[in-house]
Amino acid sequence: MSRTPGTSTRTDARPGPAAGPAVAPAVDPAWRPALPPGIMLRRDRVREADLLVLPERVVVLTGRAADIVRLCDGRREVAAIVGELADRFPGAPVPDEVPAFLARLREQGWLR
């Protein structure tokens, strides 16, 4: 199915286990993820949704995905992002789910 450029896409851009049995690749805890040039994180106040604005596409972030992406500033290592989120959300499966989520975003080209 083709999409018209500039259309909004609701993508499973949220933390959590990936669909299906595929295993996310290992993420180096020293990696410092950042949004590449041309991709921006924006808050749509009308829709009350967080968006990744890409060239010719908009991805709606769900769940706590935007909380994770906001920490991807190129200065924090994955280990620091996981630690900060684990402090914010005690009891959540942060050490397992956040690195896998970041790996999926990198595979899509939404993080470098």
Q: What tens digit of pLDDT does each residue of 42-80 get?
A: 999 999 999 999 999 999 999 999 999 999 999 999 999
CA 6 to chain centre: 20
What residue segments make up the domains of the chain, in order of their start?
28-108
pTM attached to this predicted model: 0.79
In tens, the pLDDT along 84-108 reads: 999 999 999 999 999 999 999 999 9
Q: 28-108 in CATH: which number?
A: 1.10.10.1150
| Cβ-based burial of 33 (10 A; exposed 0-12, middle 13-18, buried ≥19) | buried
103: helix, strand or coil = helix
Beta pairing partners, 13: 61
Residues 6 or more apart whose Cβ sits within 8 Å of residue 26:
99, 103
The helix (H) or strand (E) run that includes residue 80 is helix 78-88
Amino acid (1-letter code) at residue 7: T
